Structure 1
Amino acid sequence: MNLALKDKKRIVGFRFAWAGLKTVVKKESNFQLHLTATAIVVTLGFFFKLSLIEWAVILLTIGLVLITEMINSVIERIMDFIQPDYDERVKEIKDIAAGVVLVTAIISVVVGVLIFGPKIMQLL
């Protein structure tokens, strides 16, 4: 395969990935909620002048929450496509996928408290 064809495939792949990201931002209200939380946390990070390590932990945690929310959305859509009618097994699959997001979100709150808690306490 020549180099020009490989480059075109990469560009097309990037376009599909970008389209997927735009879709989740537009259509998934929980993802929008996580983006709002992200904006607040990033703003607080600048306000409290986080260290490089703190930024790394915060950004990795944010990324993990966003990724799990996207995976949850994919699982929900696949299951709805495979089985449009109500099925208890599908419900369990979707509930477990949502539970993954919940665990990740809880961990992110703990990380946020560990990083921002002492900084907030200093202001009080």
Structure 2
Amino acid sequence: MDLKETNKEKMDAIGKNPNFLASVKHALDGIQTILKEEQNMRCHALLGIIPLLLAWYFQCSTIEWIIIIFCIFLVVIMEFLNTIFENVVDLVTDFEFHPLAKKAKDIAAGAVLVTALFSIAIALIIFLPKFITFYF
């Protein structure tokens, strides 16, 4: 086997998915990996259940449901992106410390935090009046 054949095999292994079902399988593998390996993702997923239960309990309007679900998914998507950044930085730096690597990871983590705080603020705007009305 010559070098040209070896490179072609590598390209085939990392090339485009042959069909839609293969793409879905890889996407599901990614979701399974992040849930298995990232504690923060499991926390976000579990904490995302709380506003859903509150929305059900307080019989939120359709627009409130949409906003709540949007906020939950926004935090989850940001956690996906943060994990991607962390993995790429680790790959590029070969797990060696570099100040720019730390900076990139810190900024990505900060994006998740800002998104989570945004979502908490939205939850307070939606649920605080409902709590006040219901309990006082």
Q: TM-score, normalised by structure 1?
A: 0.91
Equivalence for 2:126: 115
Equivalence for 1:102: 113
Equivalent AA in structure 2 for residue 32 of structure 1: R
Tell me whether 1:29 sits opposite 2:44 in the alignment: no
Q: Displaced runs of 4+ in structure 1, greater than 6 A?
A: none
Q: CA RMSD in A?
A: 0.9
Measure the CA separation in 2 of the matches of 1:28 and 1:121. 36
Where does 1:34-53 land on structure 2 (aligned, <5 Å)? 34-53=44-63
Measure the CA separation in 2 of the matches of 1:47 and 1:26. 30
Equivalent AA in structure 2 for residue 68 of structure 1: M
Equivalent AA in structure 1 for residue 71 of structure 2: T
Equivalence for 1:68: 78
Cα deviations by residue, 1:90-109 (Å, 9 ceiling, x for unpaired) = 00000000010011001000
Higher Cα Rg, which structure:
2
* Residue ranges of structure 2 left out of the alignment (5+ in a row): 1-17
- In the TM superposition, residue 117 of structure 1 has moved relative to its aligned partner by 0.7
Measure the CA separation in 2 of the matches of 1:109 and 1:28. 21
* Residue ranges of structure 1 left out of the alignment (5+ in a row): 1-7
Measure the CA separation in 1 of the matches of 2:132 and 2:67. 20
Cα deviations by residue, 1:63-115 (Å, 9 ceiling, x for unpaired) = 11000001000100110111010111100000000010011001000000001
Between 50-59 and 35-44, report the one with greater CA deviation.
Answer: 35-44
| Number of matched pairs | 117
